């Protein structure tokens, strides 16, 4: 396994003088599931946007090894309301010039992957918040990305829906072996999902703690209620508190 | 039926009150004719009114169609460039503030008598709402969706036709709705000055000439038809909006 992503002395200062990201050094291995944890508004989202190339750094470098297929999941589903669910999922392929029948077939497959196979002909407005987020996830996965960036994707959902989606995401990651960067402000979600958790300081975002999440790959209820899970949660909580102090 | 009944009841009640008041107070026909008198006048002049309605409809529709096409194109051009918007948009406001009655005679000088100045008049007054609303719609596209299109390497073309235009469509139709009514007003005002004598008289000229002859009842009939034309155009735009946006946009959904 090689390196998937390398950030060198990354910095982003906005015109109004706000420094969102400063001096971030980070190397992510291919196939790693990394959780980025930090207080709200600490610059994690900016970091993700820099990695995705949606924003340009003021200093330092973002290196994506081998120019991987990249997908991005936003905080909100951000679906096109005038397109059916299926055509929303097919959109990234369509924009890349994939023929419509092929795009539709792949989109249908991606929808099945998030248990929405029956919902392709509905419009986003007819779906619940959790279902819309799953559509958004399917839209990201339809391009078969090697690097998946998620920006607090399940933050607005109820606890149970969120847990289900976390499990689904982790299963997809294990199936496909892609590299995942997952921004969250929930400590337990970070521990539940990732192999490695980074705690960021408040603005400007800097890595305050970088810790391996050494838990069994299958993170069922037994693991969630285990002592090591609690210990890791406590450790991250402490680091978060110290970083914010 | 549930949607048509309430306005019909209102209309009927208003007509009855009107008829009653005019009869009770014995108002002169040339001042304020009763609905029954207007209906009689309409029946007696059905041929002229029908031709007038057709002509005015033609002028208003052509002017509105021009506004729709030119307005969306101009709105899109202004949305594409902030500099262009700053340079041009203030002058499009002129379209809205120009006193139509003052320039209508000019239009006759430029375009001669006949249908052309009527179309131009309808076009001039109905253009601004389309430009302004298209611009707002195109400018209010969700930035996250723009990011998404960028991330997936969308072409300029795809970005416009698959994101910006559909996202702006509810606003564009809001502009069309206002424009459709204005186009009728523009056509009527245009006809006051530009209409052609004889059989080729639009509703605007019919109103103007009948008022001069104190045929108030006939003029009322013509005004009623002009209102009907505006309603029909508004209804057609609404129907089209329903067709295009009904499945996804709140503005077109049945409550």
pLDDT at B255: 42
pLDDT tens figures, B68-78? 999 999 999 99
Same domain, A194 and A100: no
Q: How large is the C-alpha radius of gyration of chain B?
A: 22
By C-alpha distance, which of B177, B222, B232, B215 is closest to B201?
Answer: B222
Let me know if residue A26 belongs to a domain: yes
The answer to whether residues A179 and A203 belong to one domain is yes
Chain A / chain B CB contacts < 8 angstroms: 52
Q: Is A74 a domain residue?
A: no
Domain total in chain A: 2
Residues A240 and A175 in one domain: yes
Q: Are residues A158 and A173 in the same domain?
A: yes
Q: How far apart are CA B14 and CA A236, in angstroms?
A: 74
Cβ distance of A81 and B248 shorter than 8 Å:
yes
The pLDDT of B87-116, averaged and rounded, is 86
Do A56 and A101 fall into the same domain? Answer: no
Q: Rounded distance, CA A66 to CA A68, Å?
A: 6
- Nearest by Cα to A71 from A138, A156, A2: A138
pTM of the model: 0.82
Cβ–Cβ contact B145 with A under 8 A: yes
Do the Cβ atoms of B248 and A82 come within 8 Å?
yes
Helix ranges (DSSP H) in chain A:
44-52, 85-95, 100-113, 129-141, 159-176, 187-193, 221-224, 227-244
Which residues 65-94 on chain A approach chain B with CB closer than 8 angstroms?
Answer: 70-72, 74, 76, 78, 80-82, 91-92, 94
Q: Which of A72, A82, A95 sits opposite B153 (nearest CB)?
A: A95
If you average pLDDT over residues B85-113, what whole number do you get?
86
Q: Please tell me the predicted confidence (pLDDT) of residue A114.
A: 87
Angle at A136 between CA A124 and CA A12, to 5 degrees: 125
Tell me whether B248 touches chain A (CB under 8 Å): yes
> Which of A111-125, A168-182, A204-218, B174-188 has the lowest average pLDDT?
A204-218
CA dist B64 and A137 (Å) reads 43
**Mean pLDDT for all residues in chain A:** 88
| pLDDT attached to residue A164 | 85
* Structural domain contains residue A87: yes
A75 located within any domain: no
Residue in the structure block whose two tokens are 């997952």: A182
Q: Which of A129, A145, A161 is the last residue of a domain?
A: A145
Q: Is A6 helix (H, G, I), strand (E, B) or coil?
A: strand
In terms of domains, do A137 and A212 share one? no
Q: Is the pLDDT of residue B83 over 60?
A: yes
Give the three-state DSSP class for B34.
Answer: coil
Q: Which of A122, A145, A168 is the last residue of a domain?
A: A145
Task: With respect to residue A73, please indicate whether it lies within any of the assigned structural domains.
Answer: no
Assign residue A51 the CATH number of its domain.
Answer: 3.40.50.300
pLDDT at A104: 94
Please answer yes or no on whether B148 and A70 come within 8 Å at the CB atom. Answer: no
**Structure tokens, B244:** 């295009």
Residue B60 near residue B183, CB atoms below 8 Å: yes
Return d(Cα B193, Cα B209) in angstroms, integer. 11
A140 and A199 part of one domain: no
CA B45 to chain A, closest CA, distance in angstroms equals 48
Within a domain: A52: yes
Indicate if A150 and A196 belong to the same structural domain.
yes
Same domain, A107 and A187: no
pLDDT band at A3; cut points 50, 70, 90: confident
The predicted structure's pLDDT at residue A206: 80
Whether residues A202 and A156 share a domain: the answer is yes
A238 within a domain of the structure (yes/no): yes
Tell me the per-residue pLDDT of B39-56, one tens digit each, with 9 for 90 and over: 999 999 999 999 999 999
Roughly how many angstroms between the first and final C-alpha of chain B, as a whole number?
15
Domains of chain B (ranges, CATH numbers): 50-245 (1.10.3720.10)
CB-CB: which of A72, A81, A123 is closest to B151? Answer: A72
Which SS3 state, helix, strand or coil, does residue A41 take?
Answer: coil
Assign residue B33 a region: left if phi > 0, alpha if psi is -120 to 50, beta otherwise? beta
Per-residue pLDDT at A120: 92
**A194 and A210: one domain?**
yes
Predicted local distance difference test score (pLDDT) of residue A158:
84
Residue B14 token pair: 């208003």
DSSP string, A60-80: EEEEETT---EEEE-SS----
Last residue of a domain, one of A94, A126, A145: A145
A151, A174: one domain: yes
Report the pLDDT averaged over residues A44-69: 88
Tell me whether residue A160 is in a domain: yes
Q: Which of A 114-143 lie inside 8 A of B, CB atoms?
A: 123-125, 143
Asked if residues B16 and B190 have their Cβ atoms less than 8 Å apart, the reply is no
Q: Are strands A19-29 and A3-13 parallel, antiparallel or unpaired?
A: antiparallel
A136: left (phi over 0), alpha (psi -120 to 50) or beta: alpha
The alpha helices in B29-142, defined as continuous H runs, are: 35-44, 46-80, 82-97, 100-111, 115-139
Note down the domain range covering A90: 80-145
**Which residue in B137, B140, B148, B158 has the most chain A C-beta atoms within 10 A of its own C-beta, making it the best mutation to test that interface?**
B148
**Closest of B211, B222, B218 to residue B187, by C-alpha:** B222
HSE (side-chain half, CA atoms, 13 Å) at B23: 9
pLDDT digits (tens, 9 = 90+) for A121-130: 999 999 988 8
């Amino acid at each position: 396994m090689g390196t998937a992503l390398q950030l060198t002395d990354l910095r982003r200062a906005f015109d109004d003088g706000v420094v969102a990201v400063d001096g971030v050094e980070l190397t992510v291995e291919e196939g790693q599931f990394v959780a980025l944890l930090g207080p709200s508004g600490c610059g994690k989202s900016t970091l993700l946007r820099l990695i995705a190339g949606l924003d340009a750094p003021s200093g330092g470098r973002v290196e994506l090894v081998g120019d991987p297929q990249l997908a991005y999941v936003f905080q909100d589903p951000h679906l096109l309301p005038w397109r059916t669910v299926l055509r929303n999922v097919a959109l990234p392929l369509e924009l890349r010039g994939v023929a419509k029948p092929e795009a539709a077939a792949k989109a249908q497959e991606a929808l099945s992957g998030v248990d929405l196979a029956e919902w392709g002909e509905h419009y986003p407005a007819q779906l619940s918040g959790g279902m819309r987020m799953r559509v958004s996830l399917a839209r990201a996965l339809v391009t078969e990305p090697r690097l998946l960036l998620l920006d607090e994707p399940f933050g607005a959902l109820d606890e149970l829906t969120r847990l289900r989606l976390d499990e689904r995401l982790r299963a997809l990651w294990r199936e496909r072996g892609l590299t995942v960067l997952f921004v969250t402000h929930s400590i337990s979600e970070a521990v539940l999902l990732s192999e490695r958790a980074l705690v960021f300081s408040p603005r400007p975002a800097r890595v305050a703690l970088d810790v391996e999440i050494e838990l069994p790959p299958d993170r069922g209820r037994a693991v969630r209620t285990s002592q090591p899970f609690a210990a890791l949660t406590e450790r991250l909580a402490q680091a978060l508190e110290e970083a914010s102090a | 039926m549930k949607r048509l009944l309430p306005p019909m009841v209102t209309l009927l009640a208003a007509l009855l009150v009107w008829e009653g008041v005019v009869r009770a107070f014995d108002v002169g026909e040339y001042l304020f004719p009763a609905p029954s008198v207007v209906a009689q006048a309409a029946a007696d002049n059905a041929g002229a009114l029908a031709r007038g309605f057709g002509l005015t409809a033609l002028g208003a529709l052509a002017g509105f169609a021009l506004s729709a096409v030119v307005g969306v194109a101009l709105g899109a051009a202004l949305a594409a460039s902030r500099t262009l918007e700053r340079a041009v948009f203030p002058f499009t406001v002129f379209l809205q503030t120009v006193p139509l009655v003052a320039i209508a005679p000019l239009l006759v000088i430029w375009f001669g008598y006949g249908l052309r100045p009527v179309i131009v008049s309808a076009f001039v007054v109905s253009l601004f709402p389309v430009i302004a609303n298209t611009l707002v719609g195109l400018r209010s596209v969700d930035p996250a969706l723009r990011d998404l299109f960028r991330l997936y390497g969308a072409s300029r073309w795809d970005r416009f036709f698959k994101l910006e235009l559909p996202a702006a469509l509810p606003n564009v139709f809001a502009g069309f709705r206002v424009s459709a009514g204005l186009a009728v007003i523009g056509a009527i005002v245009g006809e006051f000055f530009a209409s052609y004598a004889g059989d080729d008289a639009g509703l605007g000229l019919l109103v103007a000439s009948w008022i001069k002859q104190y045929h108030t009842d006939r003029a009322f009939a013509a005004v009623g038809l002009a209102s009907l034309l505006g309603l029909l155009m508004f209804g057609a735009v609404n129907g089209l909006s329903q067709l295009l946006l009904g499945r996804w946009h709140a503005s077109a959904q049945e409550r």
